[in-house]
Chains A and B, each alone.
Chain A
Amino acid sequence: MKGSFRQSMAWLHTWAGLVVGWVLFAVFVTGTASYYRADISRWMRPELTKVSPLTHAELPAAAERAVAYLEKHASEARTWFIGLPHGDEPVLDLFWRIRPGAPPGHVILDARTGAEMALRKTMAGDFLYRFHFELHLPPIWGRWIVGICAMIMLVALISGIITHKRIFSDFFTFRRDKAPRRSFLDAHNVTGVLALPYHLMITYTGIVTLSMMYMPWGVTTAYRGDSQAYFSEAGFVTKSRPVANRPAPPAPIGPMVERALATFPERLGRVSIAHHGDAHATVIAAFEEPHGLSHEHPQIAFDGVTGAVLEVVNGGLKPAAKTFSTMVGLHEAHFAGPTLRLLFFLCGVMGSAMVATGLVLWTLARLPKANERPFFGLRLVQALNIASVAGLPAAVATYFLANRLLPPDLAGRSDWEIRAFFAAWIAAALIPLARPHRRAWSEMLGLVAGLCLAVVLADIATVETHPLRRLGAGEALFLWFDGALLAMACLFAVAVRKVARYQAPSRAERSREAPRPSAAVRSSERPAPLHAAPPPLAAAEPERA
């Protein structure tokens, strides 16, 4: 392009960052929350605190109960997935898929009786987790959109690094008292550069987790498109067995689970059963990863008819496959203990902030002069910025709030939680359109702070086992969760103050007297020089972005 290499990279950084910023913000926020997916799920099913964990010896019988339920209710499904009970989720979590594309069946059973549990119906942390890479769209669409955005993000990161002449000194630069555009630029640089290794890692490894979908052409040429053959040859999964179409009585699952438990010390997470009742029925016991960075689940495949072990997959990956699974492991961060997990979480928050400040920066650099009307693109970007940066956190908070406030026995309850999420998001995107831009920011950020606070209050009010109602006798998780939301509320309250704070004191006074205060507010938002020649107050229309 015209100009120097660095100039063309600056152009690329600006526009690549802008077009995907809104999706990326949502992906960053929900992905960051997903570091605590298990905790969120536990918090969203408070009834589970009353269920005591199961011992190892109880697991085989629990698996039998799961199979009995599935035989009765999901006999036409090709594959069943049985999530076995464990510490945080002492229940049977059953999934089955009847055919590709159809929504999967799902039920939670009492592991000790095999009956459906009287739990509030919720997608819990899984909704945020899946939204992170599927955006609640049909999986194929969602995953491609997120993948394309991640790829553009990678390009934006690379071009952003090239753009940065003084990457080292900018590391230590934050000019908070300068013009808003300056401090936004510095905030963008600080959040971008400080956590840069994390941003590069999380973007590339995120693409890698779905790489076989985005870039299947190696499998196409080397394996003639047979991805199952590739996965088993690489040592990721056990060999798949085609259906025989001959019925055969299935072996009981209990002894297989018993044998699996005796084979590996890791937690037995999931048992899947393919083609139950067929002569080629296969039972696969999949364990949690052993300690380490790599995403390697030990697996044992059993013959579903004889109960004999067919194959054991346990580590031993070759270098490239090991690299691949380490990248996936880095992305998922299952290896991270509490401290490291918190660091990952904070890096994710910084990533979200990097995207948000970048988006705002684009608008600050293009504000019209006092006597010009903002052009359409600017108003569009401003509207989308509020809709994502304030709207998505409002939606997440509303999702939590709905979990506490919707009646537990409401029909289609988990769908209503998700509807609440989107309704809040749409509302938070539309209301600012009718408000002056600067005010809209304050109001929407304030709304998020209020919603976070409301979640904490609703939690204390509706959960009778809450530690604050039992003088600390309940589960500490609830205190941590509520504490985190209070911290979020404070963070957004500070943001409200910051948005207001950019008004110069003298102008703030004048704006109070002015008939249309928003005009004064708007004009002070312009890039540097901030205090040079304040425009006539009545000149600028209050903006309706």
Chain B
Amino acid sequence: MSTSKGSAGTGLVERAGIFARIVLATGGGYAVAALATALLSVTLPLERSEAVTTATLLSFAILAGVVVLVFALHSVPRAAGILFGAILVMGLGLWLAAGPGLFVGGAP
């Protein structure tokens, strides 16, 4: 989404950009927050219930932060890159921390 000149073509590009940001902010934001919650729940050096509570309480701040970030960044591909990077790293971390058994058990 570069500078807009108000022409129909740019309007369309701009709309597509906004749509992409909304999808990234909601879907990507929730994915990042959910993965962070899951990862922190099994990695925080606390009792199990405390780790889950801490992670869940933080998750909504993380989600809000991601939404602000997605709308603040200048380029959509950059925002998408950061989000997918975070999802990949955390997904890998979760795999290593919780083991593959987690995914066999099936999420609700």
Contact = CB atoms under 8 A, between A and B. Distances in A.
Interface of A: 1-2, 5, 8-9, 11-12, 151, 154-155, 158-159, 162, 204, 207-208, 211-212, 214-225, 230, 233-235, 318-321, 323-324, 327
A211 B48 CA distance: 17
Interface string B48-77: 111111111101110110011001111000
A321 B60 contact: no
Interface in B66-96: 67-68, 71-74, 94
B53 A233 contact: no
Contact of B108 (A11, A211, A220): A220
Given A2-B4, A218-B55, A320 B50 contact: yes
B56 A211 contact: yes
Contact of B56 (A215, A233, A319): A215
B42 A221 contact: yes
A2 B1 contact: yes
Contact of A233 (B2, B21, B48, B107): B48
Contact of B60 (A9, A215, A220, A320): A215
B41 A2 contact: no
Contacts of B108: 216, 220, 225
Interface of A is mostly: helix
Contacts of A158: 64, 68
B12 interface: no
Interface in B19-46: 21, 33-35, 37-42, 46
Nearest to A325: B53
Contacts of A159: 68, 71
Which of A220, A318, A327 has its CB near the most chain B CB atoms (within 10 A)?
Answer: A220
A5 B72 contact: yes
Interface residues of B, number: 44
Contacts of A319: 50
Of all A-B residue pairs in the complex, the 10 with the closest CB atoms, nearest first, are: A218-B41, A218-B52, A320-B53, A234-B49, A217-B38, A221-B38, A233-B49, A222-B41, A320-B50, A320-B54
A151 B39 CA distance: 22
B102 interface: yes
Contact of B42 (A151, A208, A222, A235): A222
B52 A151 contact: no
Contact of A218 (B3, B51, B73, B102): B51
Contact of A8 (B54, B71, B98, B105): B71
Contacts of B71: 1, 8-9, 11-12, 159
A249 to B, nearest CB: 36
B56 A212 contact: yes
Contacts of B105: 224-225
A93 to B, nearest CB: 31
A218 to B, nearest CB: 4
Nearest to B48: A222
A1 B4 CA distance: 11
Which of B63, B71, B73 has its CB near the most chain A CB atoms (within 10 A)?
Answer: B71
Nearest to A12: B71
A11 B64 CA distance: 16
A327 B54 CA distance: 12
Nearest to A212: B56
Given A2-B1, A215-B37, A221-B98, A230 B52 contact: yes
B50 A204 contact: no
A219 B105 CA distance: 13
25 contacts: A1-B74, A2-B2, A2-B3, A2-B4, A2-B74, A8-B72, A159-B71, A162-B68, A211-B56, A211-B59, A211-B60, A215-B34, A217-B34, A217-B35, A218-B53, A221-B39, A221-B94, A225-B105, A225-B108, A230-B52, A233-B49, A234-B53, A320-B57, A324-B57, A327-B57
Which of B4, B53, B57, B61 has its CB near the most chain A CB atoms (within 10 A)?
Answer: B53
Which of A5, A208, A212, A219 has its CB near the most chain B CB atoms (within 10 A)?
Answer: A219
Contacts of B37: 215, 217-218
Contact of B41 (A11, A12, A204, A221): A221
A82 to B, nearest CB: 29
A151 B33 CA distance: 12
Contact of B21 (A1, A214, A221): A1
Contacts of A8: 71-72
Contact of A207 (B38, B51, B60): B60
B72 A1 contact: yes
Contacts of B3: 2
Which of A219, A223, A320, A323 has its CB near the most chain B CB atoms (within 10 A)?
Answer: A320
A154 to B, nearest CB: 5
Given A155-B68, A217-B34, A320-B46, 11 more contacts: A1-B74, A12-B67, A12-B68, A158-B68, A216-B108, A217-B38, A218-B38, A220-B108, A222-B42, A230-B49, A234-B52
